[in-house]
């Protein structure tokens, strides 16, 4: 007999682990499971009719992470510094001596948990790099809402464990 889990996935039952930037983990507010698209080959098969065949390329959407910014900006700075190691904009002289292209990548793990916070699924994003870090907005006299920031990551692929 097949064991069927009839529990519904709740949007708040997750943790995000980013090897290179551990301070972001405790502040993650939301994350997406990116979609994917296959290319297709089109073969005309007659008047007004096309036949579609699977292509040879898959394209993943970006991994988007929204996180709360801590008051010392440590989690924001972790991503900022990581992006600076990929393209050293603070010290362009480092760019010519860049010899560790693999050191710029890291794995990111999305842990799906039950309502009792027990891990049930691990989704590993392989060879991730940040591609976007949203700025932080301040507002004088505004409400005391927490500040959030968005970061986007490209990755080679993801797998379920």
CATH number where 25 lies? 2.30.110
Q: For residue 156, what is the DSSP state?
A: S
Residue 23 lies inside a defined structural domain of this protein: yes
pLDDT truncated to tens, each residue of the chain (161 aa)? 667 767 888 999 999 999 899 889 899 999 999 999 988 988 888 788 899 899 889 999 999 999 999 999 999 999 999 998 888 777 766 655 555 566 789 999 999 999 889 999 999 999 999 999 999 988 888 677 899 999 999 999 999 99
Query: How many beta carbons lie within 10 A of that of residue 158, not counting itself?
Result: 19
Structural domain total, the chain: 1
- 86, burial (CB in 10 Å: exposed 0-12, middle 13-18, buried 19+): middle
Q: The pTM is what? A: 0.86
Residue 40 lies inside a defined structural domain of this protein: no
Gap between the Cα atoms of 75 and 94, Å rounded: 24
Residue 153 lies inside a defined structural domain of this protein: yes
């Amino acid at each position: 007999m097949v064991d069927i889990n009839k529990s519904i996935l709740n949007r708040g039952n997750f943790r995000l682990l980013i090897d290179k930037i551990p301070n972001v983990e405790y502040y993650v507010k939301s994350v997406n499971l990116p979609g994917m698209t296959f290319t297709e080959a089109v073969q005309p098969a007659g008047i007004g009719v096309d036949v579609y065949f699977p292509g040879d390329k898959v394209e993943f959407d970006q991994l988007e992470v929204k996180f709360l910014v801590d008051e010392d900006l440590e989690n924001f700075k972790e991503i900022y510094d990581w992006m600076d190691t990929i393209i050293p904009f603070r010290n362009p002289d480092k760019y010519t001596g860049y010899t560790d292209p693999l050191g710029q990548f890291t794995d990111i793990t999305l842990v799906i948990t039950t309502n009792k916070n027990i891990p049930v699924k691990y989704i590993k994003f392989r060879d991730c790099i940040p591609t976007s870090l949203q700025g932080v907005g301040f507002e004088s006299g505004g409400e005391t809402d927490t500040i959030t920031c968005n970061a986007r990551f490209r990755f080679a692929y993801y797998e379920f464990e």
